A = this chain, B = another copy of it.
Amino acid sequence: MWMPSQLPEIAAQLKAAGFQGDPAGLAELAKPPMNAVVKVGGATGAFVSGDGLVLTNHHVAFGVIQYNSNKDRDLIGNGFIAANRDAELPANPDYRVLVTTGFDRITDKILADARGKTGRAYYDAVDAASKAAVAECESEVGYRCSVANMYYGTDFYLIKQLELKDIRLVYAPPEAIGNYGDEIDNFVWPRHSGDFTILRAYVGKDGKPAAYSKDNVPYRPPAHLQISTDPVGEGDYAMLAGYPGVTYRHRMASEFKSQIEWQLPARVALFDGMIDTIEAATAAKPSAKVLYASQVASLKNGLKRAQGELDGLRRSDAVSARAADEKAMLAWLGKQSDAKAIQADIAAAQKVLDAGAATRERDQLFGLIRGQPQLLRSAVTLQRLAAERGKPDAQRESGFQQRDEALIEGSLKQVQRRYDADVEKALLSDLLKRYRALPAAQRIAEVDAVFGGDDAQAKAAIDALYAQTKLGDEAERLRWLRAAPADVAASTDPLMLAAAKLLPAVLRQEETDKSREGDLLRLRPAYMRALIGYRKSQGRAVYPDANSTLRVSYGKVSTMSPRDGVTYVPLTTVQGIVEKHTGKAPFDAPKPLRDAIAKGDFGGTADPKLKTQTVDFLTNLDTTGGNSGSPVLDANGRLIGLNFDSNWEAVSASWMFDPRYKRAIHVDMRYLRWLLAKVYPAPHLLKEMNLPAE
């Protein structure tokens, strides 16, 4: 996950891997191909025509498809082809395509006021300088700006992005193609999904970003990618650009140990326990079962992810591997002239982490106690908001500013569809029981004051709270949302009262978290400097952990052995669609697709070796969440694939990249071309993208 600016530094590696272009050219954000790679709806996409066509995943554009669907027009089920530009459908007004135009290192500016400070003060100084830089940058109309923190506080970059606001739906396959296999095939290879959609960006007649208007014209990007017409095969060079969200690969060895030996197992056990509690409490009450279906599904998904990450990190022996690497790094560091100051900062950072680890069980449980039960969470949120609403908006905590109130209102309304008093009481009892099992030193006075110190007291307290609270009424919750802060603080509703009593503990926790965050922002750069120096001594460069900024990864089309005796072939074919087809969602391949497969008319999009139509392909490219929709390029920079998922064995890659198991899954552009040529034809789009008619 290299920053484009690092690519000249690793030019030799890129060339050795097979890249045919000039690595230096990849570092230029304002030149092709990088200026064709855009941020789309929280993920990635790319311009694929001179008239602003944007290619991204079906699942990334799903909101746009849904927004344009209704009971008379099922674009989700049927797909969509705009016959001409007038027929292109406007996206939801908040949907954006962002084109990165600036990426400037402003470390000195961000840290100027922070230097010499510690803890919360350091955090606040960085925060204030970042906000000022963003405000200054955004004074230019039509741009959105942000500050990205690289190498954990070592460097800060100001990112400037052109904000395209009029996005329209041009082409979407039916969901049964775009999301073939849905949850069952999620994270699965071999895959057979045509997970793509084509959008178009529009601007005002002046060429500047503008909200939707009938009079807008297609945006003419300075560059776009050309879809390849060459075959793709095992071993071929591949590279990918996009906006990966977050990784933790450069965390300290103690953090790896904590994640693998405590955090993930604890999460598995807790989620498992909560699922059991909810399922037991709803077993004999079908109405409650429906109310909690979404929460249980979310817990099960979280459990599955945590277990997958844990399995993967254990399989890769991540604790030992990271510890050995850190040990070697520290040994190297000991021999450097500037070792002392760096060692001191690393030791101090370890102390901050240790302090956090000392109360991690309690902090986790306190978070769940005030977060999982719907009514208690509502009460705490209402009290927390009231505590902020007395301040000027700019000084309010983020998350509790005026612009956040709509979101809070939405979540207070949601409660109605997800709450049953008996289930909530069972869940809260279970979490409090776990909390009371912690050592005495871990207890929180406010929690004990509200819920008592033993089972009997907790039962009595919970019964009393839920017998008398009126927060089960939506109107009542919304009344407190709008009430004057003083009235909220003085509420006599028992749950509002309980939340008011818990509030000091909540605020204390927030303060501690921010103070630690400030110190780590100050101290981690020493660790990163040591790591970068050590890697340099090995002749290796270091990319910063992912943080939703533009990154590049290179590698090749690659098989994989998920386990002894099994090899995954890196290309799937339409034969797999037929094999998986059951006639029922999510394996309900549409009839036109099945007919076209049976007909076997693949023409110029067929694979010359396999003699059939490919669907998806597998590479060893480095990706994480946010890389959805990333364009996959060949050695000459032509578009061969669209990234949309990774394999189950790679769930742990956010912590550790293990080349044996990390793979990325892409739609083969030949499948897109075939669908547009023969199955759901859009010859005008093929022409616009400069592609053969078949």
Binding site for B on A (CB under 8 A): 189-192, 561, 563-569, 571-573, 575-576, 579
Residues of B within 8 A of A568 (CB): 565-567
Cross-chain contact of A565 among B564, B565, B569 (Cβ < 8 A):
B569
Pairs A–B under 8 Å by Cβ, sample size 9:
A190-B563, A190-B566, A563-B576, A563-B579, A564-B573, A564-B575, A565-B568, A565-B573, A565-B576
- Nearest-neighbour CB distance to chain B for A564, whole angstroms, equals 3
Q: Please give 18 more A-B residue pairs, beta carbons under 8 A apart, in addition to A190-B565, A190-B566, A566-B569.
A: A189-B565, A190-B563, A190-B564, A191-B565, A563-B576, A563-B579, A564-B572, A564-B575, A564-B576, A564-B579, A565-B568, A565-B569, A565-B572, A565-B573, A565-B576, A566-B566, A566-B567, A566-B568
Q: Residue of B at shortest CB range from A578?
A: B564
Residues of B within 8 A of A564 (CB): 190, 192, 572-573, 575-576, 579
Residues of B within 8 A of A573 (CB): 564-565
Of A564, A576, A579, which is in contact with the most chain B CB atoms at under 10 Å from its CB?
Answer: A564
Task: Give 9 nearest A-B pairs by CB, closest first.
Answer: A190-B565, A564-B576, A565-B572, A567-B567, A564-B575, A565-B569, A563-B579, A564-B572, A564-B573
Residues of B within 8 A of A190 (CB): 563-566
Are A569 and B567 neighbours in the complex by a CB distance under 8 Å? yes
Residues of B within 8 A of A189 (CB): 565
Q: Residue of B at shortest CB range from A190?
A: B565
Distance of A579 Cα from B189 Cα, bound (Å): 19
Q: Residue of B at shortest CB range from A577?
A: B564
Residues of B within 8 A of A567 (CB): 566-569
Distance of A575 Cα from B562 Cα, bound (Å): 12
Of A565, A568, A575, which is in contact with the most chain B CB atoms at under 10 Å from its CB?
Answer: A565
Distance of A579 Cα from B314 Cα, bound (Å): 11
Residues of B within 8 A of A569 (CB): 561, 565-567
Q: Residue of B at shortest CB range from A561?
A: B569
Q: Residue of B at shortest CB range from A573?
A: B564
Q: Residue of B at shortest CB range from A565?
A: B190
- Nearest-neighbour CB distance to chain B for A619, whole angstroms, equals 14
Q: Residue of B at shortest CB range from A192?
A: B564
Q: Residue of B at shortest CB range from A574?
A: B564
- Nearest-neighbour CB distance to chain B for A190, whole angstroms, equals 2
Residues of B within 8 A of A572 (CB): 564-565
Distance of A565 Cα from B617 Cα, bound (Å): 9
Distance of A563 Cα from B579 Cα, bound (Å): 7
Distance of A573 Cα from B564 Cα, bound (Å): 7
Q: Residue of B at shortest CB range from A570?
A: B565
Distance of A568 Cα from B563 Cα, bound (Å): 10
Residues of B within 8 A of A579 (CB): 563-564
Distance of A567 Cα from B568 Cα, bound (Å): 6
Distance of A573 Cα from B561 Cα, bound (Å): 13
Residues of B within 8 A of A566 (CB): 190, 566-569
Residues of B within 8 A of A192 (CB): 564
Distance of A564 Cα from B579 Cα, bound (Å): 8
Residues of B within 8 A of A191 (CB): 565
- Nearest-neighbour CB distance to chain B for A149, whole angstroms, equals 39
Distance of A561 Cα from B571 Cα, bound (Å): 13
Residues of B within 8 A of A576 (CB): 563-565
Distance of A660 Cα from B192 Cα, bound (Å): 21
- Nearest-neighbour CB distance to chain B for A582, whole angstroms, equals 11
- Nearest-neighbour CB distance to chain B for A681, whole angstroms, equals 25
- Nearest-neighbour CB distance to chain B for A217, whole angstroms, equals 43
- Nearest-neighbour CB distance to chain B for A557, whole angstroms, equals 13
Residues of B within 8 A of A565 (CB): 189-191, 568-569, 571-573, 576
- Nearest-neighbour CB distance to chain B for A607, whole angstroms, equals 13
Of A192, A561, A563, A568, which is in contact with the most chain B CB atoms at under 10 Å from its CB?
Answer: A563
- Nearest-neighbour CB distance to chain B for A653, whole angstroms, equals 19
Distance of A579 Cα from B311 Cα, bound (Å): 11
Distance of A169 Cα from B189 Cα, bound (Å): 46
Of A566, A572, A573, A579, which is in contact with the most chain B CB atoms at under 10 Å from its CB?
Answer: A566
- Nearest-neighbour CB distance to chain B for A320, whole angstroms, equals 14
Distance of A564 Cα from B617 Cα, bound (Å): 12
Distance of A566 Cα from B573 Cα, bound (Å): 11
Distance of A535 Cα from B567 Cα, bound (Å): 38
- Nearest-neighbour CB distance to chain B for A368, whole angstroms, equals 29
- Nearest-neighbour CB distance to chain B for A311, whole angstroms, equals 11
- Nearest-neighbour CB distance to chain B for A94, whole angstroms, equals 38
Distance of A667 Cα from B565 Cα, bound (Å): 14
Distance of A501 Cα from B572 Cα, bound (Å): 62
- Nearest-neighbour CB distance to chain B for A131, whole angstroms, equals 49
Distance of A189 Cα from B565 Cα, bound (Å): 8
Distance of A572 Cα from B561 Cα, bound (Å): 12
Q: Residue of B at shortest CB range from A616?
A: B565
Residues of B within 8 A of A575 (CB): 564
- Nearest-neighbour CB distance to chain B for A666, whole angstroms, equals 13
Q: Residue of B at shortest CB range from A315?
A: B579
Distance of A190 Cα from B569 Cα, bound (Å): 16
- Nearest-neighbour CB distance to chain B for A235, whole angstroms, equals 16
- Nearest-neighbour CB distance to chain B for A310, whole angstroms, equals 14
